[in-house]
Structure 1
């Protein structure tokens, strides 16, 4: 496998890569545990909010000219209510928090350090902007979910190893359509946090 070229951009500089990023998100998030039956119209709206934010960050991984991985983030105060409210309800000022939107990487390229790079670049960006907390939320599916692959390994160990802790008191729900669903349903999601030194 050739070495990936990782580049950073902020705000509207992502515009040339938005179609590829939308397709990548749909492809990766079809897998368990997200099972996301994505639509390009939603992706355009969702990614557009990040593209319009000059304080957002996109970490892009390319194999040649192909986008094979990406990680995003923006200040939590600029996020939707579903993600801001759990912090406000627990006395954490969203202005302190830099929020990670997603980290997506094609299977072929996993296990080579790109995920660590995604975390490191976003942490460095958050520090430069003066945030002292970084956070993301992850969907939580039942242990006996029928679509769970026999060899599925959650990323909890990876996140813990890099200083992120699960905060069960910071929970929310977010709606999307699972593969096989006719309509959207709300999924439980829990936040993971790291305090920056």
Structure 2
């Protein structure tokens, strides 16, 4: 299995969104997201990537098949739920590029796609003149009943890349967990890096 990473912008982002929606539904069903998604919700959620002139989608391909992807947009173009979290910081939103999801099918992990995803988004953000990249990670209790044995969070990977959590900068977002009857609020911790 050989992975090829391709940065997509403009119409190419829109063309890949249905495949990205399917990947998000599959990958985010696992811990720690536990997301019980559907295609209609995904299409509405991903409209910000289609509508932002400065969005990027970094596709991981096995031949012509999209097996992973990472996205990014200017923070100001993303959901109000996320931008509100920055209101109490000294980071101007117009200087922050938001690295949104990174999803990759399990069979393709361990081949460097994670670094490639961040490299491409950070280069894109620099080229657009942004001073910072930020992302957020879902917060789950250590004693959550669905936490798998031996789970290792990605904190060490993110720190190696120069990201650090922003104390108290937490967004809330709603989605339906696989074990829930309806949507509930989730807390997401922001991490940031100077470019």
So what's the TM-score if we normalise by structure 2?
A: 0.97
1:5 counterpart = 2:7 = no
Structure 1 residue 15: deviation in Å? Answer: 2.4
| Match in the other structure for 2:156 | 157
Q: How far apart, CA to CA, are the structure 2 residues paired with 1:21 and 1:144? A: 31
Q: How far apart, CA to CA, are the structure 1 residues paired with 2:14 and 2:57? A: 11
Structure 1 residue 7: deviation in Å? Answer: 0.8
Secondary structure in 1 matching 2:146: coil
Residue deviations 1:93-148 (CA, integer Å, cap 9, x gap): 10010001110011111111110000000000000000011000010100000000
Provide runs of 4+ in structure 1 moved above 3 Å: none
| Match in the other structure for 2:169 | 170
In the alignment of these two chains, the number of paired residues is 195
Q: How far apart, CA to CA, are the structure 1 residues paired with 2:132 and 2:61? A: 28
Residue deviations 1:20-66 (CA, integer Å, cap 9, x gap): 11100000000000000001001111112211211000000110121
Is this contact kept in 1: 2:13–2:56, CA < 8 A?
no
Is this contact kept in 1: 2:134–2:190, CA < 8 A?
yes
Is this contact kept in 2: 1:176–1:185, CA < 8 A?
yes
| Match in the other structure for 1:117 | 116
- Structure 1: gaps (5+ residues): none
| Match in the other structure for 2:72 | 73
Secondary structure in 2 matching 1:92: coil
Q: How far apart, CA to CA, are the structure 1 residues paired with 2:191 and 2:98? A: 10
> 1:118-197 alignment to 2 at 5 Å?
118-196=117-195
Moved more, 86-95 or 49-58: 86-95
Structure 1 residue 91: deviation in Å? Answer: 3.0
Secondary structure in 2 matching 1:89: coil
Moved more, 176-185 or 47-56: 47-56
Moved more, 96-105 or 6-15: 6-15
- Structure 2: gaps (5+ residues): none
Moved more, 20-29 or 44-53: 44-53
Q: How far apart, CA to CA, are the structure 2 residues paired with 1:108 and 1:10? A: 26
So what's the TM-score if we normalise by structure 1?
A: 0.96
C-alpha RMSD of the superposition: 1.0
Secondary structure in 2 matching 1:84: helix
Structure 1 residue 89: deviation in Å? Answer: 2.2
1:101 counterpart = 2:95 = no
